Structure 1
Amino acid sequence: MSGLDATVTALAEDLAARGAEIEAHRTLPDDLVSAFKKHGLFRMVMPKGLGGLGLPPRRVVEIVEEISYADAATGWSLLIGNIGNAFLAWLDPAVAEKLVADQPDILVAGGQAPLGQGTLEPDGRHYRLSGRWPFASGCLHSSWYMGGFIVMEDGRPKTDARGGPEMRVAYFPASAARTVDTWHVAGLRGTGSHDIVADGIRVPVEHTSVPYFGPARHDDPVYRLTAYNLLLTCLAGFPLGVGRRALDEADRQLRTKRRIGSDQPQIHDPLFQTELMARGTELDAARRQVLGTLDELLDELAAGDPGYPRRARLAASVLHALDTGRAAAMTGFRLCGAAALHDDNPVQRCMRDLVAGAQHVAFSADSRRRIAGALLGLQTTPLFFGV
């Protein structure tokens, strides 16, 4: 076992009993943030040229899966931190290198949805940016924020070469913005996913990028993926880990809970056995599909662009993993009966956390529509966060 593998396993073992504590804390505790930074776990997919670990994408999925199994909110915080840092790859390399040199433990939170507005100042070197970005997981322990915005000109959206509004992503110090305590939710309570707000701040043009359509500025194998598929690669381990934890917890509880009118534990009920078998087999198959498809796509991309239908396969496999993991958690919750209603029941937390994670825009109906169209060969030009 490598040093990183041993570290991840030790962290996961410690996390297994901290779910309620992390949920009550409403954000990732400082000791976990420090541990993740110390061992580079927020830099798993950051470009190697910026100090990233350069892990194989398959290993990233496995690590997120292992941490998410131990605690869903921590797994989510880990993967979101990696996504924020990964998108530094779309900045000019020299600019990104300086950011990282000035902040060796840089951690970026925020959102790329173009919910802000930016106006180019007369000097041509700064945008005046205002916006509010919700669901900024990890914002309380991040030193930098990112926010998507529409470029405004003469009070109207500026048009890009595609004929649509010009959209960019800005990166700015957390100290330049503010957070609004909005994270009072049903699931993923421990992720601190508050709103971040910028009120007319100045952002250098060089601290903005356009990841929606173009390639990253680094040649690490993972950056052969589009921004959207990179996002989904980071997300993939979450439903696999949380879904498996829900099934294992249900198995454990059913071994101690007695059947009505019987001395036998409920695990001996053939209906429960077949349900656990079915959901577990589906989850195993979904995991193999994600990892296999990811490996195949990276091999294909090394030889050239295989086209939209082939690239859409990875996105589709991660959506399938999300649906499968959510179904597993719902089954575990149902099989555990009324006992699962209690807040301190891990199965309930798995169910709530997976349902909350499924609300991410990457899993939305619009994303599914785009992926389906690409799979069928109906996508012929780059799309907003296309596959």
Structure 2
Amino acid sequence: MTRKRSVDRRQGLSVRLKLTLSYAAFLEIAGALLLAAVWMFLLRGRSDSLSVPDRTDFLRVFDPSNFGPVVFIPAGILVLAFLLMFGLVGGWILAGRMLTPLIRITDATRRVANNGPLSHRIRLPGRRDEFRELADSFDVMLAQLEAHVAEQQRFAANASHELRTPLAVTQALLDVARNDPNRDTGELVERLRVINTRAIDLTEALLLLSRANQRSFTREHVDLSLMAEEATETLLPLAEKHGVTIETTGDMSITIGSQALLLQMITNLLHNAIGHNLPEQGIVWVNTSIHPNSVVLVVENTGEKLTSELASTLTEPFQRGTERLHSDHAGVGLGLAIVKSITRAHDGTLTLTPRPAGGLRVTVRLPAASAHTQEDGDQA
């Protein structure tokens, strides 16, 4: 599971405020220069130089005995030209300083977009403002993307290995049969049937996992308590065969989603709880409950003691944890991975917690039907 990490920064000035203060300071400087120019050309020589210039001051500027227009006009043009150059250079420098973080973010985005390493991070220094928050969000997104790509690569490698194993065994059995024509074919056919069934189960599990990840299903009202009862009835013969007792309790818990996928999710959880249980007198508890904005399904089972580190990896594809005590329907290592994908496709959360006495507690929290209705109303 990828955890969102954010950089702890002290609160700084916002970019908008920085630009506002910068441009205000720039205008103050420009105004001071303009006032200095007015004093130089209009008020110089007056005893009360702090007063507002009047008509006589403007007439005095054009008096040949003073400066004269020949002197004032070129000087005014020079002052305006200086202010223009000062504004262009100052604005360019200020904008460059303000946009330096954005340029750094753009360069990092372009680097990753051009097949760069996903391990690259911006790590923009400084106090928190809009640009720093954007850079931190981009770093978090890259971390999640890197983890997702790594997970997909592991999944592809594991899937290839799992699919190659039955094919290799089938090829070996066929080679043995071809080299020994007098061998009894009954045993060979039975072993090929078992291997072929496992390959089919694995393929169907991969298709179900892909369907859940793509969220390509029709949503309808589903009562988790009814799904739990149906899954219990289906797996009750398997539980009785191995001396496992299933206790189902709870209230009507309605969510919105795919009835087939949610039934598969609960079936996988029960199947996993039965398979990883005590060799005798094992117990599986199934409970459904409703909360203000969510419905909760809890499946607990007795069994061997697990560590928190091992429990956190059980939802990885082809991760089987401890060896099963019941070899029947051993599965293909995708049971809890499918549960995780179905839960995520229904905007829910999945939590795996080891029980102190041994076994596992799995909690699935899904949005309640009323919460879905409220969200639809808000979007409308």
TM-score, with length taken from structure 2: 0.27
Task: Say which one has the larger Rg.
Answer: 2
TM-score, with length taken from structure 1: 0.26
Higher normalized contact order (CA 8 Å, seq sep 6+, divided by chain length):
1
